[in-house]
Amino acid sequence: MSDLTQVIAVINAGSSSLKFSLYEPQPDALRFLAGGQIEALFTAPRLIAHGADGGHVDLPVRTEAATLGHEAALDALIEFLRVHFTHHTLVAIGHRVVHGGARYARPVRVDAEVLAALERFIPLAPLHQPHNLALIRVVAARRPELAQVACFDTAFHRSQARVTQAFALPHEFAERGVLRYGFHGLSYEYIAQALPACDAKAATGRTVVLHLGNGASMCAMRAGRSVASTMGFTAVDGLPMGTRCGNLDPGVLLFCLDHLGMDARAIEKLVYQQSGLLGMSGISSDMRTLEASDDPRAREAIDIYIHRIGRELGSLAAALGGLDAIVFTAGIGQNSVALRERVCRDAAWLGVAIDPAANRAGEQRISTAASRVTVLVVPTDEELMIARHTRAVLEATAATRPSP
């Protein structure tokens, strides 16, 4: 038997770059070894990495690869491991796959049949799914001995009731896959697993999690299971985001088509890339830049963002029949003191009372002792969630495989 230490790689493959993290399975944990990204996949690929101690550079930062695309990414990753983790061997890759359709409610080990099923979801997520699957295909062809596990952004929400998932369209649309799927599920699942150690009421009660990053959504959970979420058929629904518009009256799209001379691709660009904080402010999609700006449009973009969060919070509290806790997470949720304070003040009618000093001090619990609703700030870790799933799927497969 090999005495090499096993490594699980977590990969999030996009259109031109690929993010990765490496973990070493230990008896009760997964130890983060290194992470980074491979950029410019189709032009001049290079790998930038950091070790477990943050941005430290004793791990090499640059690897040129001879090939292009996802093949180059696989080569670069394997070369990075070979050079810098000489006593380690890659045993599995956990992939973030945006869409698991109505079929996959949990992660799955990928084989040819699963890959074919996942390809059928490409029309449901054309901007992400093809890139997620491209790397899976390359690995299957070139390193078939590596276990590959697909972990879905949609899976966590499959616990939602039928009335929550359905649109008010003729029923044959649901049969064609037009449903509210919900996204950011790996983040919500991570938070659900973290909550018991943070607060018993938040873990077992009616909790709304606000995942406010470049992409943004909110999820209503009862005892850690998804009951409703702001994202629907695609990841453009719900809250305004960095560059996505969120909820939009479908009449606006018809107006764009009929009267503004826009076609489907122009509308896609509008709603995914030119709207949200960027479009509203005309300045930036980055909350830090907007908070630092005294331009009235920057302030208005933040006002609209917070107004929409407040409305969704009311809607999700209604879906839960009350509210016991709210949890802020992701880049804006974890870092913007001002935004958390304003969202909580607007939610006073729901029984939320924020402790401004605790909020400023970066504490985990930022509600007052008297607040009816507990307010927490909990950092998310989607990569670790994928690594946990990958390990669990590997162990389950090993347990069910007949001994030789």
Residues forming the site for ligand AMP (CB under 6 A): 213-214, 242, 286-288, 291, 330-332, 335-336
Pick 85 or 328: Cβ nearer ligand AMP:
328
The answer to whether residue 153 is catalytic is: yes
Among residues 28, 53, 153, 355, the one annotated as catalytic is 153
Beta strand 325-329 with 225-229 is unpaired
Shortest Cβ 31–ligand AMP spacing (Å)? 23
Pick 291 or 346: Cβ nearer ligand AMP:
291
Shortest Cβ 291–ligand AMP spacing (Å)? 6
Query: What is the spatial distance between Cα 237 and Cα 101, in angstroms, rounded to a whole number?
Result: 16
Pick 36 or 205: Cβ nearer ligand AMP:
36
**CA quadruple 155, 156, 159, 161: dihedral positive or negative?**
negative
DSSP string, 299-359: HHHHHHHHHHHHHHHHHHHHHHTS-SEEEEEHHHHHH-HHHHHHHHHHTGGGTB-B-HHHH
Shortest Cβ 126–ligand AMP spacing (Å)? 21
Pick 104 or 328: Cβ nearer ligand AMP:
328
DSSP string, 260-304: S---HHHHHHHHHHS-HHHHHHSS-S-HHHHHH---HHHHHHHHH
Pick 192 or 330: Cβ nearer ligand AMP:
330
Backbone phi, psi, residue 231, to 5°: -85, 145
Contact 125, 98 (CB under 8 A): yes
Q: Which residue is nearest to ligand AMP (CB)?
A: 331
Strand partners, 35: 21, 50
Shortest Cβ 373–ligand AMP spacing (Å)? 23
Shortest Cβ 266–ligand AMP spacing (Å)? 25
User: Encoding tokens for residue 384?
Assistant: 């670790």
Q: Which residues are catalytic?
A: 153
